[in-house]
Homo-oligomer: A and B are copies of this chain.
Amino acid sequence: MAQSIKDYITSNKDRFLSELIDLLRIPSVSADPKFKEDVFNAATYVKNRLAEAGAEKTEICKTAGYPIVYGEKIIDPSLPTVLVYGHYDVQPADPYDLWKNPPFEPVIKDDRIYARGACDDKGQMYMHVKAFEYMVRNNQLTCNVKFMIEGEEEVGSANLGTFVKNNGKKLKCDVVLISDTSMIADDVPSITVGLRGLAYLEVELTGPNRDLHSGTYGGAVPNPINILCEMIAKLIDEKTRKITIPGFYDDVQPISDEEKQAIKDIPFKLEDYKKDLGISAVMGEEGYNTIERTSVRPTLDVNGIKGGYQGEGAKTVIASTASAKISMRLVPDQKSEKIAELFTSYFKSLAPEGVKVKVTNMHGGDPVVVPIDSVEYRAASKAYNDTFGKKPLPDRAGGSIPIVKLFEDELGVKSVMMGFGLDTDQIHSPNESFGIFNFLKGIETIPYFFNYYVEMKK
């Protein structure tokens, strides 16, 4: 197969890129209702490309929100089945003014594709469509494949649970294959073996029933912005940077010596990290290093805050309301629902008399760790070894893919997370990009995984 897949990529590379670029042109931002039609258009685009690649029974499955694209190729029911999961929705692109090129007008520069979703997850999802196309057209498919590509990953996959629960038979499989994480570096391949969970909440404070003149009322009424700041400040201990919510750490599993050692083995230069981010110092939980803080320890970050006058110049107003979006990354064995409840009652308890507090639980997901002695992990490891020329490292990622836990619970199968992007791809940020090297390396590696997986399952 080695020469065959390489040749196929060489001959079809331009078409692969042009198809991906067409998909990236569709602003399928699931968080913002104004892109509703675009999100639906992206689903149709994916369905059509899947069918062209050789998938059968392709279908746009309705949900209460955005649809799930399904397709399959069953070559022999007695063979193993791999379910490929990905998503066609993207993060909001704002702030738009920080993009060097408009986020939905993809450009290729310095061997990278720049666009919102280039890596997360359109680029990584589309690797699977093209690897599948290769296997079908060259008679290399050694097992059954199912595709389930959703459109609500960036807003918490609210309707995927119901879909998976109601379609157990249709989705029956032996393993779920996902490319929605990153690897350590182009020359340091890695496989994601852990994901943090997420609890994402919105808080809103109301003081006076209307905006007030700060001269007339200043000093006498509860100012919701000042108070919001005071309440947020109390969520993290200033010295230890530990989260102060009572019970927050109760279920956090300590890091084993083995894990500590594995983290030490990951090549990491703090100076390069700080330089890349333009910061003079890192900041995080006392007693842990940067890799631990971003992978095996839980966190709390304010993702957005607003209140009062935000325009040019000065306005002397006391706002009626102020709000913030706050998320926590969770690690085994924390539970998203429990953490959201702990946060809510603690946050409310911090409010002084005179303000009203509203807390909304936006979405969440439990953390997950996958074993490294499984068939799928070993198959993936061998595949990377063949195409990168070195054994990949097992890596616990800081991000969250809540659905991994869902697949375990509802389908009874594990996932294997073969990410080909890099942390520096600026996903969720302006100027997101995906290396063409990474896109093509993904397409090259995936068929090896299928081969080894079927071989080892025998």
Residues of A in contact with B (beta carbons under 8 Å apart): 30-33, 91-92, 94-95, 98, 154-156, 182, 196, 198, 200, 202, 207-223, 225-226, 228-230, 232-234, 236, 238, 277-285, 290, 293-294, 297-319, 322, 324-325, 327, 329, 352-355, 362-363, 397-400, 423, 426-431
In this complex, what residue of B is CB-closest to A283? Answer: B222
Is B217 touching A314 in the complex (CB atoms < 8 A)? no
In the assembled complex, the CB of A276 is this many whole angstroms from the nearest CB of chain B, namely 8
In the assembled complex, the CB of A97 is this many whole angstroms from the nearest CB of chain B, namely 12
Q: A298 — which chain B residues lie within 8 A by C-beta? A: 219
Given contacts A308-B325, A315-B304, contact A229 B233 (CB under 8 A): yes
Given contacts A222-B279, A306-B306, contact A182 B216 (CB under 8 A): yes
**A-B contact list, 8 entries, CB within 8 Å:** A154-B315, A155-B314, A208-B277, A211-B429, A213-B427, A216-B294, A220-B290, A220-B294
Number of copies: 2
If A280-B353, A314-B325, A316-B399 are given as contacts, then 16 extra A-B residue pairs at C-beta distance below 8 Å, sorted by A number, are A209-B278, A211-B428, A211-B429, A212-B277, A213-B427, A214-B327, A214-B428, A216-B397, A216-B423, A216-B427, A219-B284, A219-B298, A220-B282, A220-B294, A301-B318, A303-B314
Q: A283 — which chain B residues lie within 8 A by C-beta? A: 220-222, 352-354
Given contacts A280-B353, A284-B220, contact A302 B208 (CB under 8 A): no
Given contacts A94-B311, A213-B429, A362-B314, contact A223 B302 (CB under 8 A): yes
Is B219 touching A311 in the complex (CB atoms < 8 A)? no
In this complex, what residue of B is CB-closest to A233? Answer: B233
A207, A220, A318: most-surrounded residue (chain B CB, <10 A): A220
Q: Which 10 A-B pairs have the closest CB atoms?
A: A215-B399, A209-B278, A219-B299, A31-B313, A304-B308, A281-B354, A233-B233, A304-B309, A229-B232, A281-B353
